[in-house]
Structure 1
Amino acid sequence: MSTSRPRALVTGSASGIGRASALRFAEAGYDVTINYGKSRERGEATLAELEAFGGQHAAVQADVSDDAAVAELVRVAAGPEGRLDILVNNAGTTMETKPEDLDGIDLDEWDRVFAVNVRGLVQVTRAAAPFLRASGGSVVNIASIVGLRPGPQPLAYAASKAAVVSLTKTLSRVLAPEVRVNAVAPGWIAGEWMERTLGDGYDKLMERRAKLTPMRRNVELDDVAASVFTLATSHPFVTGEILVIDGGYTATS
């Protein structure tokens, strides 16, 4: 009987939700493969943090919209034993065009957002599926609250996250019964992503959001990572679900 540690692949994990989730799995005893596109320095820094927990971890530079690169990424993640227990599809990108600026949309940028956020998710899941089926594994996709309701994000990003919501439900049927597929939909996460989105209004708008949230604060990266981990490793009869992580804001506003 194999005594190898469980293995997890977290895409787009040099920083943000991906990094926080990768660290959570490493802390729990998983060998984690992280993935980054251009942020080599951040990727190597996150890898060093993972290694502090012990185990055998890897960092792979790969564009998730490139199918050949994805195949190599999954090969590394599965390791010599061909084992993969958890896949977290977190890799994502956005564009800078304001949501109300319909005429300002650059269609090449639109296509790039969908190539990473939607096509990338499908390609990584497809490549990982044989290993996940063999292990009875689990997939957690990172959606967003703007995939469920309007928000201050660019149209391409919001539409791509709505596609992630739809794919989560569809893939939960396609990969059943061996593999569970769920998603988390975070609200406004305190930190650099929302700083870029809200610009000069960040502090004021985040403060207002916190006051309107039943939990009286905004979402933090560790909140999301905790939910990703629990959804991936527990709840054996839950699949096809979208877990909103926003402290009750959506439910009560």
Structure 2
Amino acid sequence: MTSSTARPRALVTGSATGIGRACAIRLAQAGYDVTINYSRSADRAHQTLKELAAIGGDHRAVAADVSDDAAVRALVDAAAPHGELHALVNNAGTTSETAPEDLDGIDLDDWDRVFRVNVRGLVQVTRAAAPVLRAGGGSIVNVASIVGLRPGPQPLAYAASKAAVVSLTRTLSRALAPGIRVNAVAPGWIAGEWMQRTLGDNYDGLMERRARQTPLRRNVEVEDVAESVHALLVSHPFVTGEIVVIDGGFTATT
């Protein structure tokens, strides 16, 4: 992982809550010093930082909008104070409120906002982090989504941006080889806040039906995603350019 005896360092974008928070905790448990990143959720970011501190290590929280290139470069500098980074999780993301079937209702400024964070942000963070990841023998995992691979009940801007994340993962795995591996996870319907916002009043019924249709008989939890992210970062040295679907077998069997 690194030639030095120091603890490895990780940067997880969009990590105040949800998948990012779970990834930060999992990496801290694995012995990483973690930089968490947030844009607006300062209170929740600092709560997550307290949880990391309880695990032990040198952790920090940095506010940065990943669509702002100058802020991104400052973020990477903070995450790699000794010029080495060993893991990058590109998780920062946002969505639109426009229903997936409402083509006429798409606001193009809103579309651009989603792509600035989900796609441009990923590119900017990866570009800024590439030199320190090479120095640290590091690896990247991008957080895509099942709707980047097949249609689902997500707004068109979000689904299209996650399809771009899938494509970028494969392209970057070649562009950054051989020094940096690049993979992605594509979670299915994750129980919790994100799907509650997406499904609204239908959340309980639809999630229950989804669990019944899933071979493993439950829905995805953020900890499931974090475990796969950790494995891709550290346990698969000859795997790059791959998209790991995390949905309990739903996509493979329906």
Query: TM-score, normalized by length of structure 1?
Result: 0.99
Which amino acid is the alignment partner of residue 181 of structure 2? R
Amino acid at match of 2:60: A
Aligned to 1:75: 77
Q: Which residue of 1 aligns with 2:240?
A: 239
1:185 corresponds in structure 2 to 186
Q: For residue 21 of structure 1, what is the aligned residue in structure 2?
A: 23
Instruction: Give, in whole Å, the separation in 2 of the partners of 1:20 and 1:244.
Output: 17
Q: Counterpart of 1:173 in structure 2: which amino acid?
A: R
Aligned partners of 1:179 and 1:84: how far apart in 2?
Answer: 11
Query: Is 2:112 aligned against 1:111?
Result: yes
Q: Which residue type is aligned with residue 109 of structure 2?
A: D
Q: Which amino acid aligns with 2:18?
A: G
Cα distance in 2 for residues equivalent to 1:219 and 1:55 = 29
Q: Deviations over 1:29-74 (max 9, x none)?
A: 1000000000000010000101111110110000000000000000
- CA deviation map 1:82-135 (0-9, x unaligned): 110000000000010000011111111100000000000000000000011112
How big is the shift at 1:3? 2.2
Q: Residue in 2 aligned with 1:147? A: 148
CA–CA separation in structure 2 for the residues paired with 1:39 and 1:82? 28
What pairs with 1:127-138 in structure 2 (closer than 5 Å)? 127-138=128-139
Tell me if the contact between 2:83 and 2:135 (Cα under 8 Å) persists in the aligned partners: no
**Does the 8 Å contact 2:12/2:20 carry over to 1?**
yes
**Sequence identity, in percent?**
77
The amino acid of 1:238's aligned partner reads V
Q: Corresponding residue for 1:101?
A: 102
Query: What secondary structure sits across from 2:185 in the alignment?
Result: strand
Q: 1:41 aligns with which of 38, 43, 66?
A: 43
Report what 1:2 is aligned to: 4
2:229 counterpart of 1:228: yes
- In structure 1, what is the equivalent of residue 60 of structure 2? 58
Extract unaligned runs of 5+ from structure 1.
none
Residue 28 of structure 1 aligns to which amino acid in structure 2?
A
Letter in 2 for 1:230: A
Unaligned 5+ residue runs, structure 2? none
Q: Secondary structure at the match of 2:105?
A: coil
Q: Residue 216 of structure 1 aligns with which residue?
A: 217
Q: What count of residue pairs does the alignment treat as equivalent?
A: 252
Alpha-carbon distance in structure 2 between the residues aligned to 1:4 and 1:235: 22
Q: Distance in 2 between matches of 1:18 and 1:237?
A: 25
Q: TM-score by structure 2 length?
A: 0.98
Q: CA deviation at 1:227?
A: 0.3
d(CA) in 1 for partners of 2:46, 2:143: 22
C-alpha distance in structure 2 between counterparts of 1:2 and 1:182, whole Å: 25
RMSD: 0.7
State the distance in 1 between where 2:83 and 2:236 align.
25
